[in-house]
Amino acid sequence: MNRPLVLTCVALSAIMPLTGCGGNKKAATVAQSASPKARHHAPAATRAPSASVTVRGTVRVGGFCKTTDAVGKTANGGWARCLKKPGDKRARWYSQAPSGPGAARAGEFCSRAGATATSSAGKKLTCTKKAGETRPRWRTK
């Protein structure tokens, strides 16, 4: 091997850790190196959740859907995800909005038929089971 080349390699390998190059440092991304004012993110309510497909138009929570894991915008501006939960014969739209303790959503399963609750939108919901269903769901009247 060429002696000057070996000496150059040895010198560079000794200098790199001292200058901060190499080692266990990760490369900074553009978002990490930008100023805090430059890093503006949309609020979570307006930003689409990650999904394989985003559906055009509005979707109805509790309604049937075709592509599982797709997301769509609801009429009130929230987001819904197409899921097939245990007990569902077909995939349905489920709201992705955070819910408070005890909040009920139309179309979700409930435990006791005849129970009543109020949705986050203020609508009265009743726990009912229709013919052919194995589990009751929250429904508006």
Instruction: State pLDDT tens for residues 47-67.
Output: 555 666 888 888 988 899 988
Q: Are 80 and 71 in contact (CB under 8 A)?
A: yes
Q: What does the pLDDT read at residue 86?
A: 85
The span from the CA of 40 to the CA of 43, in Å, is: 9
Nearest partner of 95 among 113, 110, 75, judged by Cα: 75
At 86-125, the pLDDT tens digits run: 888 899 998 876 555 556 788 888 888 888 887 777 788 8
Residue 82 pLDDT > 50, yes or no? yes
The Cβ-side half-sphere exposure at 131, using a 13 Å CA radius, reads 0
Q: What's the pTM?
A: 0.39
Which pLDDT does position 115 carry in this prediction? 85
